[in-house]
Amino acid sequence: MREHAVPEFEIPDLPAAPMRAALLDWYDREGRSLPWRIRPEDRAAGAIADPYAIWLSEIMLQQTTVPHATPYWERFLERWPQVSDLAAAPREDVLAAWAGLGYYARARNLHACAQVVAFELDGVFPSDLKALLALPGVGDYTANAIRAAAFDQPASVVDGNVERVLTRLVRMPTPLPKAKPQIKGIASGLASPERPGDYAQAIMDLGATVCSPKSPDCAACPWSGWCAARAEGDQTRYPLKEKKKPKPVRRGACFHVLREGAIWLRRRPETGLLGAMMEVPGTGWSDNAPSEADLESAAPFEADWRNAGQVRHVFTHFALELDVLCATAPDGWTPDEGVWAPVRDLKEAGLPSVMMKAAKLGLETRLL
């Protein structure tokens, strides 16, 4: 028996003009006030967006929530108020200031991008999409977001919040990530040519504050009358997503070494995960836990290493289980590389989250 082909999903015609007007009217009343944002009333009063501040916020907000990113943004601007200041800063200082924000390749790209803008573009961020995409660490979403928010230029801005709004709007049957091209097409058709910056921020705010993942407030939504998922009562079903495979687990160990109130740390290699960040030195990470021979080979010196327990950290593509082995540095031992960081100033050491977990676990165990 011949099977019938499943017809491709046809994006419905949406009344773009009244939808834009409704969304912008809602944004004028209800849009979020964020420290890097120029709201409509600010623009009317003569305020001008700062491309540096907006670029910095967009890089920090990649895979990071607004409440978590905002204090970092404030500290960066206080310490490096101009892109030239950030470009001139030692990269180690930038990485240390970024510690705890995650996705550390962003910090390396941030510093590299600041240097390109400061030293090759005379400190001026470009507004052209192609030129923005050429900057280190700037992809399609970030380039469009900067173009819209910093320069009020037409742009199709699609983040996770926008994907949720638009897939519910049309009841998108194609799961993510396959649906991304269709979603971008819908976003482009709806984007406002008259108020592109406000529109881009409005649709992101709609997803962040009204069209939430689990409890959408449809009564407050300016697009509720056009929303197909609301009409069917299955809003929280969207966006559809392909089933994720379980994350593999990698294992390793780190050597928690103390001497006179200081902990031994070293800088990781330039490339790879957590590249150039500080670490509690240890073994490599692999599918299997390190053997006794592995530990003996990797240990910085012979000692009766005390196992403080294990820390677990989930990265984008795998989970890491790290045994924390503790010892006091023997008299006369000097490491070939690394630094001694005072324990009382551990927060200033620039440790990424997984290494901070390991450092704290070792310290807690020693106090028992």
Contacts of 342 (CB under 8 A, 6+ apart): 261, 262
Please say if 58 is a catalytic residue.
Answer: yes
Mean pLDDT of the chain: 93
Say whether the peptide bond before residue 177 is cis (omega within 30 degrees of 0). yes
Average pLDDT over residues 134-159: 93
| 205 confidence band (pLDDT: 50, 70, 90) | very high
333 pLDDT higher than 80: yes
Q: Where are the domains of the chain?
A: 16-237, 249-367
Q: Which two tokens stand for residue 202?
A: 């409005």
Q: Which residue has the tokens 């590389």?
A: 337
**Interval 67-91 mean pLDDT:** 97
**pLDDT score, position 289:** 94
Q: Which whole number is the average pLDDT over 289-302?
A: 94
Tell me: pLDDT of 159 over 70.
yes
Is the peptide bond between 269 and the residue preceding it cis, with omega within 30 degrees of 0? no
Give the rounded percent of residues in the chain with a pLDDT score beyond 70: 97
Q: Tell me how far apart the alpha carbons of residues 183 and 342 are, in angstroms, rounded to a whole number.
A: 50
Instruction: Reply yes or no on whether the pLDDT at 9 is more than 90.
Output: no
Alpha-helical runs (H) found in 7-65 = 16-30, 40-44, 51-60
Residue ranges with strand state E in the chain: 249-259, 262-267, 278-279, 306-314, 319-328, 339-342
Per-residue pLDDT at 367? 61
**CATH of region 249-367:** 3.90.79.10
Sign of the alpha-carbon dihedral angle for 174, 175, 180, 183: positive
What is the spatial distance between Cα 296 and Cα 277, in angstroms, rounded to a whole number?
Answer: 25
Q: Give pLDDT, residue 6.
A: 40
N- to C-terminal Cα distance for the chain? 72
User: What are the CA-CA distances from residue 223 to residues 27, 46, 214, 243 (Å)?
Assistant: 12, 30, 18, 29
| pLDDT at residue 5 tops 60 | no
Query: How large is the average pLDDT for residues 312-337?
Result: 94
* Catalytic residue of the set 8, 41, 58, 292: 58
Over range 214-219, report the average pLDDT: 96
Q: How confident is the model at residue 1 (pLDDT cuts 50, 70, 90)?
A: very low
How confident is the model over 247-263, as pLDDT tens digits?
A: 999 999 999 999 999 99
Classified by CATH at the fold level, domain 16-237 comes out as Endonuclease III; domain 1 (1.10.340)
Q: How high is the pLDDT of residue 3?
A: 42
pLDDT band of residue 2 (cuts 50, 70, 90) is very low
Distance of CA 188 to the CA centre of its chain: 24
Question: What is the C-alpha to C-alpha distance for residues 130 and 87, in angstroms, rounded to an integer?
Answer: 22
| pLDDT of the residue at 102 | 84
